[in-house]
């Protein structure tokens, strides 16, 4: 269940309700200053990775990004 994703921190400590006008807050676990939208995006990514792994799919460390271009090959 994905609820309050902007208020969960990486160790899954959930903050109490904050008004939507509060855009950043301090993590009670590690004292890091957090941006609500960025934190929500990181939590959604983490949940997605867990679901992919649970389905038996592989997840690359860099999110599947790779450099494009030609690679020279010796003849």
Q: Quote the pLDDT of residue 64.
A: 58
Q: Return the pLDDT at 74.
A: 65
What pLDDT is stored for residue 12 in this prediction?
54
- Tell whether pTM > 0.85: no
Three-state secondary-structure class, residue 20:
coil
Contact 2, 50 (CB under 8 A): no
Q: What is the pLDDT of residue 65?
A: 52
Are 51 and 43 in contact by the 8 Å Cβ rule? The answer is no
Walking along the chain (75 residues) 10 residues at a time, the average pLDDT comes out as 55 68 82 84 84 84 58 62
pLDDT score, position 7: 57
């Amino acid at each position: 269940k994905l609820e309050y994703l902007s208020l969960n921190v990486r160790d899954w400590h959930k903050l109490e309700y904050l008004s939507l006008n509060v855009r950043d807050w301090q993590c009670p676990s590690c004292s890091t200053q957090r941006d609500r939208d960025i934190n929500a995006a990181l939590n959604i990514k983490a949940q997605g990775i867990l679901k992919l792994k649970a389905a038996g799919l592989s997840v690359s460390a860099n999110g599947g990004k790779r450099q494009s271009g030609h690679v020279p090959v010796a003849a």
